[in-house]
Structure 1
């Protein structure tokens, strides 16, 4: 099945687009061979690399294909090796939330900087919110740090964290998540199982990348903020059962959306209101029963907005749907954040997405801005408390800043920048084997 610009039927019944005929040069007496039409998402032609094959390997984390990935931000080193490293685009097999095989894309970067003290470690990085269009994929952004056309805008803001990690000498693998980049389905935004699986399988796949210097003994760290924080948090919970072969040494989970019921209300009417549409689109695709429930509660304007947002990146929704209230999209005129939790079947889907029901593997640094009103601080802090109650080794770090503007995204974004250096240092210490003291005993006294 191939997706051409994320076709949407109903609220978002992802349909199979008809394959357009393409011809190649054929010799005398030979029929022209049909080929798939390229996917074009908001004026950006998606490289054919991102087209999944008809059949996938059986084993999770198995590489499907690789190719060199030119980094958009790179410098020649004194020894002739590029800085910060050599990148490889990759596709690998994972398993989605329905237990079905899925192709996921991403990128592996072999650092130029040396690692001192044992086998080179690996950091599996989950990007913050990039969007739902295929052109928003983090691996594509590594090659194209700024995509700016008349129809879309994408900025590779995660490059700073990626390059900081590479400067320590750790290798980095970045996942594109399920459906972001890979052209056969929509990106399942903030789907706990899809994101956790994709991140852990990226760590597995990295070991098979040609030229990778990591070994079977390499320690693995997980890193993510915002959507990425939810993905790394979910992966830390899922690792013991799903990927016990991944030698997890530590997890950084910044501003994780652990409770989607609370997060929906936080993003509704905010600068990032479009993210509400991405989550609805993704869950409607994964759960047909939920799709029917949503279809009965979303009006024509809402359905048109959901289809529109399904091919957008962050920059696009900020400009077109920023500060929009979901009351404009519902049949009843009520906020979608109130409607969905009130439907038992829909509430059950959200409850399955709750992070904090399992003990995380290894030490975790959980950072949240105390005035974060997009991914609300209270639900992130509650995740830390849930993990502490389950016996997790949690380093809880509240970032206390003045209010930088209600619903403007600044209260959410500023802690990312303020804590990033400390987060990288904390994770580097875990990769070198240093113990991490837990702050669970002092959590009740912290904001």
Structure 2
């Protein structure tokens, strides 16, 4: 369906075409509501192994949505995602709660969008070629089995037109908060129904951003808790850590996304990268996480630059670029609800030190923050094993943290 209404006074644009009339679900209509969290269109979303009367891997009913969010310049952005209404009743206090899950790094190409992978967690596009993966099933199931409504955002520019602004603090936080607003609207839930945010890696950063932006960007939401696993809170330090690993191409995701919002960065990158670097950035902009392991895995960004310096060193040469990276820093605003964060001492993608610093930054502002430290020893450094394993070991504590605060 498409939500329509009156003009300026109500925040709605002129009536937009229906999803079927518009053709591709992921192409926004020419006009749509500018109000954050508004539903632009929706349609049923078949879930993993969901065969009526035979099997239902995810215990709920899925709805694919396009909703309104905001770019960092506060202009409206159409974002897609999925809302799943559980079949299990909520047995806690008050109305059924909603958790918004921010996916971890899944890629930058439109084919990687999680809402396109709800009926089967993998899609292969031989024309690119590309392999898209949706690995949120475990955390989604845990929430649904406890009667919690789940919303998942595709983030700005994933599936929809434009580049996905990977690790852009403001835009990921907006997408999460507006997904909560949209989920409450789709479910016809009370406006004060409890909300929480969860995610790991990129999703951990998105959840952390949502937690600290909630008070100013979406003060009406009844935020109860946030779980942020391995959040990339200090992008400058993350770039150093990830360089030369199996997913070094994710640095390209970040550069591509930031260039789209900061023209001055585009000028620097064009000047400083060589032909190989330019080709790598263009390539990963159309790829998913599995693709970059094959195309740019273990490459050093020093091989992408004219000077032979890594991109982190190039960034330090330009104060205006340093400022851009610093604007993505999470921890300068106070979350308005309890937060659990996780960091792995030997995480080979997300440095432990900057997670611990986020903990200190929030505590210094008086926020209610708990931190879990994962002690798994180094296992094949650079292969991302020490980043992936803590995601699994902290899944249950993170889920329990949210459920406990929902029931208070």
Q: Distance in 2 between matches of 1:365 and 1:141?
A: 28
Identify which of 258, 283, 294 aligns with 1:308: 283
Aligned: 1:54 with 2:30:
yes
Aligned to 1:70: 46
Map of 1:210-221 to 2, 5 A cutoff?
212=187, 214-221=189-196
Deviation digits for residues 342-394 of structure 1, max 9, x if unmatched?
A: 21110010111100111112100001111112111111111001111111100
* 8 Å CA contact 1:120, 1:215 repeated in 2: no
Residues 294-305 of structure 1 aligned to structure 2 (within 5 Å): 294-305=269-280
Which of 122, 130, 149 matches 1:152? 130
Q: Secondary structure at the match of 1:49?
A: coil
Compute the TM-score of the two structures, normalised by the length of structure 2: 0.91
Distance in 2 (CA, whole Å) between partners of 1:56 and 1:283 is 26
Task: Compare 403-412 and 168-177 and name the one that shifted more.
Answer: 403-412
Residues 1:345 and 2:288 aligned together:
no
Tell me whether 156-165 or 171-180 shows the greater mean CA deviation: 156-165
Question: For 2:368, which of 393, 400, 407 is the aligned residue?
Answer: 393
Q: Is the 8 A contact 1:104 1:179 kept in 2?
A: yes
After superposition, the Cα gap between the structure-2 partners of 1:308 and 1:328, relative to the gap in structure 1 and judged at 3 Å, is same
Compared with structure 1, are the counterparts of its residues 82 and 266 closer, same or farther at alpha carbon in structure 2 (3 Å cutoff)? Answer: closer
Where in structure 2 are there 5+ consecutive unaligned residues? 1-20
In the aligned structure 1, how far is the partner of 2:263 from the partner of 2:203?
Answer: 26
Deviation, structure 1 residue 55: 2.0
User: Structure 1 residue 138: deviation in Å?
Assistant: 1.2
Could you tell me whether the CA contact under 8 Å between 1:75 and 1:83 is conserved in 2?
Answer: no
After TM superposition, the structure 1 = structure 2 runs for residues 46-195 of structure 1, keeping only pairs within 5 Å, are: 48-74=24-50, 76=52, 83-117=58-92, 118-150=94-126, 151-182=129-160, 184-195=161-172
Aligned-residue offset at 1:245: 1.1
**CA apart distance, 1:144:** 3.1
RMSD: 1.6
In 1, are the aligned partners of 2:58 and 2:144 still within 8 Å (CA)?
no
1:178-236 residue CA offsets vs partner (Å, 9 max, x unmatched)? 00011x20100000000000000000011221xx2632231001001000000000011
1:415 aligned onto 2:390: yes
CA distance in 2, matches of 1:256, 1:189: 13
| Structure 1 runs not aligned, ≥5 long | 1-34, 37-46, 434-447
Partner of 1:29: none
State the match for 1:239 in structure 2: 214
Match runs of 1:353-392 below 5 Å: 353-392=328-367
The equivalent of 1:440 in structure 2 is none
TM-score, normalising length: structure 1: 0.84
Name the structure 1 match of 2:265: 290
Report the Cα distance in structure 1 between the residues aligned to 2:58 and 2:277, rounded to whole angstroms: 45
Distance 1:157 1:83, change over 3 A: closer
Which whole-Å CA distance do the structure 2 matches of 1:384 and 1:323 have between them? 30
Secondary structure class of the residue paired with 2:185:
coil
CA distance in 2, matches of 1:76, 1:415: 35
Is this contact kept in 2: 1:56–1:101, CA < 8 A? no
**Which residue is equivalent to 2:17?**
none
Q: Is contact 1:77-1:83 (8 Å) kept?
A: no
Who is 2:4 aligned against? none
Equivalent-residue separation in structure 1 for 2:51 and 2:380 (angstroms): 37
Gap change, CA 1:100 and 1:123, over 3 Å in 2: same
Quick one: distance in 2 between partners of 1:56 and 1:341? 41
The structural deviation recorded for 1:424 is 0.6
Closer/same/farther in 2, CA of residues 77 and 258 from structure 1, 3 Å limit: farther
Tell me, in whole angstroms, the C-alpha distance in 2 between the residues paired with 1:255 and 1:107: 23
Aligned-partner Cα distance in 1 for 2:216–2:91? 31
What is the aligned length? Answer: 385
SS at match of 1:248: strand
1:430 aligns with 2:405: yes
